[in-house]
Amino acid sequence: MLAAQITKVDLPANAFVSSQPENVKETILDTAINRAFERDLEEELMPLDLLRFDGKLVPHQRAASLTVFKDSTRNRRLLVMSVNKKPLEEELGIDLLYWDQVHDAFTFV
């Protein structure tokens, strides 16, 4: 959401709404399994951050840690890099690096 605000990209109202309905009749095993996946870890979320942006830009994953989003009609390019557990995270404490190539602007997350 912060990246969308910074880049002034309008997100759909349901951008962060879960599409999975809640299971009302859970067994004890269901409850235990559901609780095990309730909290995602940073390492699990990084690949998702490399594949989704706004639904308008088309992602091209050039490497496991680099995705290029491009809109050929407006000539926009956004590179999203995972720098988790790499020198940039060690030095600056960031996990993701967004590079707007059109404006030559960087956003550290």
Q: Is the pLDDT of residue 105 over 60?
A: yes
Q: Any idea which of 14-18, 68-72, 93-97 has the lowest mean pLDDT?
A: 14-18
Predicted pLDDT of residue 108: 93
Q: Which two tokens stand for residue 2?
A: 């912060």
Q: What's this model's pTM, rounded to 2 decimal places?
A: 0.57
Cβ atoms 103, 7 nearer than 8 A = no
| CA–CA gap between residue 59 and residue 69 (Å, rounded) | 4
Q: Which two tokens stand for residue 11?
A: 């997100």
| 21-57: pLDDT as tens digits | 665 677 777 777 766 666 767 777 777 777 776 666 7
Q: Which two tokens stand for residue 28?
A: 């004890």
**Annotated domain spans of the chain:** 47-109
| CA–CA gap between residue 92 and residue 29 (Å, rounded) | 42
